[in-house]
Structure 1
Amino acid sequence: MRVAINLLTDDPANPSGAHWFWTRMIPEMASMLSEGEELRLLVSRRSKVMHQGYPPGVRFITFPWSNERRNLRTLSEQVYAPVRLPLAGIDVFSTLIAPLVRPAPSVVAHFKTMHAFTTPDALSGATRLYRTIGYPHTAAAADAIIINSESLRSEVLKFLDVDPAKLRLIPEAVDHDVFRPGDPQEAARRLHDRYGVNGRFVLFVSSLWPYKNCDGLIRAFAAARRDLDGRGLVVVGPGRDTAYAARLRSLAESLGVADRITWVGGVPLEGTVDFYRAADVFVYPSHNETFGLPILEAMACGCPVVTSDCSAMPETAGGAAVLADPRDPDSIASAILGAVEEGEALRERGLQRAGEFTWRHTAKRTLEVYREVHANRRGQQ
């Protein structure tokens, strides 16, 4: 069995969460390959350097472009993949959106969000259009569709005409070698030296898109500040929606809390560890998530968590976080104060919950799906 994994949707200059996902998954799957099984990674010349040092059984298929040239990358997926993959003897193609012409005997789709339908404003017009066209086609063409939560299952079934039997629920995971407890004081010293973060604080980590609801958190922080014993708010994440990021700063000024907020900007994913270790509470008040991996990353570092009571977040938190209504700043404020009060109990529950999610387990189940669709296809021949 030869599996091709589409990694072209990542931009080498701005690695996404998908890059983190696959750089953890590929080594784990490679270590479990049986005789006669191979992984072939679809990369561009620029993105190939991001995928080095993998075990035997992993090779590359080089395409002209990855997501640094989004339109050309899309064109190459649609036109070149159906020609190139058969030449490489690919049995299973793992991708987000399937080409119109089937490029391999079996296709496995990885759906991580339905943002094109649930939060369309978070996507550019071209991306939204491509996904609203591509997702229904992919749902019909795929032999199996991997999803990461029951919440995403309900969204897929709501927005796409898809056979429910195709859906395979495989949760994402935490890299416990990176996200683990550490000395909060040492972490705080590093944050002071690198980012000018001072004192105790409430933490937000996410790209600044409107649906992530940092504005709701700022309103909640303003409402709770008198009871937070001088704690500040630290916002970590790139302002990908620049207009929204500007509105957040204006909101903080209007609420009189601008001097209590530290805007860190984007940091590498592994750089968030010190923030989680040093924070008193991590708040993730998003309106819509299909998994919410930062919830588990914070828990794995021993940080108490507040998150939303909707979408996939209660499912991911598994009873180890304080839940709040993301539409109600007073609810978020109350949850933050509650998390501060029961911090130690939340830390213990969070560590236990995060420990249930490992990349090895996720990789094993994903490889089983590839084997399943390959065996089914061979049985039909």
Structure 2
Amino acid sequence: MKIAQVCPRYHPDIGGVETHVKAISERLVKYGLDIEVICTNPFRKSVYGKTPHREETINEVKVTRFRSIAPNDAFFFAPGIYNYLKNRDYYVIHAHSYHAFPALFAAFAKKGRKLVFTPYYHGAGHSFIRNILLKSYRPLGARIFKKADKVVCVSQFELNLIKKHFNVPASKLIHIPNGINLDEFRDVKPLERKHKTILFVGRLEKYKGVQHIIQALPLLEEYRLEIVGTGLYGQELKKLASKLGVSERIDWIKELSRAELLRHYKSADVFVMPSQFEAYGITVAEALASGVPCIVATGSALEEFVDDETCIGMSHPIESALLASTIESVCSRRANKVKNLMDWDEVVNKLTKIYDEK
């Protein structure tokens, strides 16, 4: 069975969609399926030369990257994806992310084939401009849901939101949460630390709320902050850190191997994700699987992790003093309970049944 996984970005980029697509693609290959990931890179002439795309293989998964226009690291407009999909004999096209154009091109290229759609929909743009663009895009985005044979929602929050905003029939919707490879979190050796550590892992965008952690740092003199990820908002965050005099207590980490990332999770005293918009929150799940207590913002799918024991919820607007005191109170805990976390193998088993459905 030949399956195209279509997404905005792919490994080594860090993010929830990237992690999800990588995890299912590598397992589907081991199941004997013919998997190709079709994604984008922002326009880089030196990388592509005169060709519209380039190919590589990562962990036995074929990856085809198309040049794209991605203003402010968003939307990933790559029309070459449409022609590429249209002219190839995929049995299933599995499109990911409502919030970028590749899924729309995948829907238009369906041509009688099965279309599975995992939208990671959270209902809002990440800025004033993006909100305006998202409202304009909605009539087009609605066509993806209409063309999809199955819509896979990674949280109940997302499923309810899609029902409300797009009137998708219940028969099309299925809730399959993101998975965790629980085995890889066992026997991870933590890094040596001489200080307490706050960890954030994710894209550096304003809606993710990293600025709230930095604003709380002056009240947490015994702590260092590790920020793992990249994004255009990073420069603003560095300016804020300098203004507050906490730059020396922040470690900016652009890229880590999977093994290194697991050690950073294991070594953290607390994981903080104050994001306003999330369809799931895979880095929160990974932190919990590592035994690290978490603090998350409520108002999105992140609140499904909140149990007031291993994961604490905070509502927006985030107050620096309250965040600082919450960090101090949870750092004495370990998240010994791993709740509601599905193994990736179980996720893939459910997906293959969807792919096989007539």
Indicate whether the TM-score tops 0.5. yes
Could you tell which deviates more after superposition, 301-310 or 291-300?
Answer: 301-310
3-state SS, counterpart of residue 317 of structure 2: coil
Unaligned runs of 5+ in 2: 40-52, 71-75, 97-102
Deviation at 1:209, TM superposition (A): 0.4
For residues 269 and 310 of structure 1, do their structure 2 counterparts lie closer, same or farther at Cα, with a shift above 3 Å needed? farther
Find 2:169's aligned residue among 163, 169, 188. 163
Match in the other structure for 1:282: 271
Structure 2 residue 33 is matched with structure 1 residue 26:
no
Matched AA of 1:327: P
Whether 1:358 aligns to 2:343 is yes
Higher share in strand: 2
Q: Choose which of 189, 212, 225 in structure 2 pairs with 1:233.
A: 225
Partner of 2:36: 41
For the pair 1:294 / 2:283, whether they are aligned, the reply is: yes
Residues 189, 266 of structure 2: 8 Å contact kept: yes
**Counterpart mapping for 1:121-160 below 5 A:** 132=138, 134-160=140-166
RMSD, aligned CA: 3.3
Task: Look up the match of 1:194.
Answer: none
Is 1:249 matched up with 2:238? yes
Distance apart, 1:315 and its partner CA: 1.0
Q: 1:172: how far off? A: 0.5
> Residues 76-225 of structure 1: matches in 2 within 5 Å?
76-82=80-86, 84-85=87-88, 88=89, 90-96=90-96, 97=103, 98-114=106-122, 117-120=124-127, 132=138, 134-184=140-190, 187-188=191-192, 199-223=195-219, 225=220
User: Retained in 2: the 8 A contact 1:170–1:362?
Assistant: yes
State the TM-score, normalizing by the size of structure 1.
Answer: 0.74
* Per-residue CA distance 1:25-70 (angstroms, 9 max, x = gap): 234345557xxxx544255873431251x6xxxxx7x9xx624445
Aligned length: 330
- Separation of aligned partners in 1, 2:173 and 2:294: 30
2:137 & 2:258 partners in 1: Cα distance?
26
Contact kept? 2:107, 2:115, Cα under 8 Å: no
1:332 alignment partner, one of 282, 299, 323? 323
Following TM superposition, by how much is the alpha carbon of 1:130 offset from its aligned partner in structure 2, in angstroms? 9.4
CA–CA distance in structure 1, aligned partners of residues 189 and 14 of structure 2:
28
State which drifts further: 134-143 or 106-115. 106-115
Structure 1, unpaired ranges of 5+ = 55-59, 190-197, 376-381
Deviation at 1:3, TM superposition (A): 4.7
Q: Structure 1 residues 8, 278: CA separation in 2 closer, same or farther (over 3 Å shift)? A: closer
> Could you tell me how far apart the structure 2 residues matched to 1:153 and 1:256 are?
43
Bigger mean CA deviation after superposition, 174-183 or 330-339? 174-183
Whether contact under 8 Å (1:213, 1:326) holds in the other structure is no
| C-alpha separation in 2, matches of 1:262 and 1:27 | 31
- Assess, with a 3 A threshold, how the Cα gap between structure 1 residues 361 and 131 changes in structure 2: closer, same or farther: farther
Question: Does the CA-based 8 Å contact 2:117-2:148 persist in structure 1?
Answer: yes
The TM-score normalised by the length of structure 2 is: 0.78
CA deviation after TM superposition for structure 1 residue 134, in Å: 4.1
Q: What's the counterpart of residue 336 of structure 2? A: 348
Counterparts of 2:8 and 2:285, CA distance in 1: 25
The higher radius of gyration belongs to: 1
- AA paired with 1:335? T
Aligned partners of 1:51, 1:181: CA distance in 2, in Å?
23
Query: In structure 2, how many angstroms separate the alpha carbons of the residues matched to 1:335 and 1:122?
Result: 33
For 2:170 and 2:140, how far apart are their aligned partners in 1?
18
The structure with the largest helix share of the pair is 1
d(CA) in 1 for partners of 2:141, 2:80: 18
1:280 shift after superposition: 1.2
Aligned to 1:48, the other structure's residue is in SS state strand
